[in-house]
Structure 1
Amino acid sequence: MGRLIGFLLLLTGIYFLGQNIVFSTFYSPFFWRNLPAMGSVLCIMGGVTSLIVFPRQTGSWGWVLLILGIVLVFLSGGVRLKPTSLWNFMIAFAALISGYRLMTEGRLRF
């Protein structure tokens, strides 16, 4: 039961933190301005595919592609962070960390 509650807390924390992150795309008349955005989509798709379909054969390569895709998302300028209150951030982060601890250890230690 603790692991289920931990999973729900983890999802709640991700939801509240993810509310203030906006991913956007834009049209550019120059082809070289869209290369990081296109590369990020391709790297994330390849990383997720290799982690889900071939986890033993290409697991480490999938993580490399996933991290490279996340870096390219930030380089493309397609990520905007909306302002958030300290209270929302604290609640979301506490739910995220306590959910992770409940899933991995099955209990919380204060």
Structure 2
Amino acid sequence: MKAYEFPWPSAKLSPNSRTHWRLKASLAAGQKRDWYFLARGQYMPKGTHLRFVFCPPTGHRRDLDNLLASCKHGIDGIARHMGIDDKDFSFAVERGEVVKGGMVRIEILT
């Protein structure tokens, strides 16, 4: 199993946020670009299973499906880097420990 750490997603990328579409599009493009470059040098075969462990910056309650949706553009960036379609990934989503600044740990299980 390999694990990689990605930055905590902006609350403005949440499907429940009321962010102006232009700002949201800019943040989404930034997340896609950042995760694309953070995934450099990694290989994930088709059918890869990804376990997302969300380590929040604070103890506030968060909805796991919204957290995963907030990472959608980052997942697209990883898939683009790998040259595969993100429909070929399967996911598991978990809560992790509180970490200063927050992070998303993605564990790759092939």
Q: If the length of structure 1 is used for normalisation, what is the TM-score? A: 0.31
Q: If the length of structure 2 is used for normalisation, what is the TM-score? A: 0.31
Higher Cα Rg, which structure: 1
Whose strand proportion is higher, 1 or 2? 2
